[in-house]
Amino acid sequence: METWQQQLSGSITKVDQLPFISRDPVYREKLQRVAEVFPIRINSYFASKIKSADDPLWRQVVPTEEELDDFLSTEEALESDPLKEERDMPVPELVHRYPDRVLLMINNHCPIICRFCTRKRKIGFPGLVTRETLSKGIEYIAQHPEVRDVIMSGGDPLLVPDRELERILTALREIKHLEIIRLGTRVPGTLPDRITPKLCEMLKKFHPLYANLHFNHPDEITPEVELACNRLADAGIPLGSQTVLLKGVNDSVDVMRELMHKLLKMRVKPYYIYQADMTMGTDHFRTTVETGLNILKALMGHTSGMGVPYYVIDTPGGGGKVRLLPDTIVRHSEEEVVVTNFEGKTYRYPQPSARSRKQEALADTAEVSAEQNLCGSSADSEQETFSDALRNC
């Protein structure tokens, strides 16, 4: 058994194993009720990095009684499937929402179970993703030539054994119209020993292959994680990171800036900051949208553009991702655009001058008049020729 498999088999899955929780039996009974609805998994590597109760890693993986509050609330429109993924599944466990790309569920297991996961309804429950659903998904992609990009997700595709993962990748690469394969994974940051030299050698055979990683806090970036990301990057796999904005975890400028800097140092491009989804059992993690906009504004100009991700809402109801930006345009008119920079200073950008626009308009008018005159001359000539013909009759 490899190291990463030992770490998985030693995962915390029960309430009485959880680190840094109250001994109060009433509180533990509440957590037990949470665990019956939303399973627990914290692999031994990730558990070893948790320093105390309520630290940023603890908050991401240890259940709290607030997860059941959403079932009692009538104030929030929270759902088990807020993004309507099930509605956009033409075959089981494949989401086809955007015209040219699909999301293919490879499994429904993760190295850790995030308490804020948008797929809390699926993760940790056996039997949802099978060889049959996977075969149907690959067949669907083969039958739809408009699909040029597939995101392998779940769960986490890198928990699949090497041989099975290679079989899946081979089947996808045999589809001629499929150009890009992406791995959606949190493994490098939460179970880094899984990223073995053997795995990377196998993945190299399937380029162009990309990896969408998931990091939420600078404390997740350890020497083991740096080694894992470097191995993937050295295998020629472009790495991007998706971060979820979480109350009490990373909802501050300093934390986000440090995270983005650390990601770039290990060749991971910050890609998205997600506004937390309106998923049942996660409302206590949600921040205001203004919090995200303020963080983005503080990043822009104060760190390199490579370190500024898109801030997006994956819209409730299945509308897809919408990018959000701080207000940088103060006003605009035909004469000028007034903008503010990262320091809050105001600058003016002149539009093409009114004189230039007037000259363009006059030139257009003169061209139209010339065409009309030409047409009129032709008509007169035709009329004269017809009159002469009548006289000759």
Residue 280 in domain: yes
For residue 343, is pLDDT > 60?
A: yes
Residue 391 in domain: no
Residue 365 in domain: no
DSSP strands (E only) in 167-296: 180-184, 209-214, 239-245, 269-275
- Structural domain for 286, as ranges: 3-329
Residue 25 in domain: yes
Residue 116 in domain: yes
Q: Could you tell me what percent of the chain has a pLDDT over 70? A: 88
Residue 211 in domain: yes
Q: Is the model more confident about 368 or about 206?
A: 206
- Residue 222 CA to residue 51 CA, distance in Å, equals 14
**Predicted confidence (pLDDT) per residue in 291-311, tens digit:** 999 999 999 988 999 999 999
Residue 386 in domain: no
- Residue 60 CA to residue 248 CA, distance in Å, equals 10
**Predicted confidence (pLDDT) per residue in 128-168, tens digit:** 889 999 999 999 999 999 999 999 999 999 999 999 999 99
pLDDT at 73: 61
Q: Which residues are catalytic?
A: 97-98, 101, 110, 114, 117, 119, 277, 314, 321
**Predicted confidence (pLDDT) per residue in 19-58, tens digit:** 999 999 999 999 999 999 999 999 999 999 999 999 999 9
Residue 384 in domain: no
- The number of distinct structural domains making up the chain is 1
CATH code assigned at 17 = 3.20.20.70
2: tokens are 């490899």
* Orientation angle between helical segments 253-265 and 289-299, nearest 10 degrees: 50
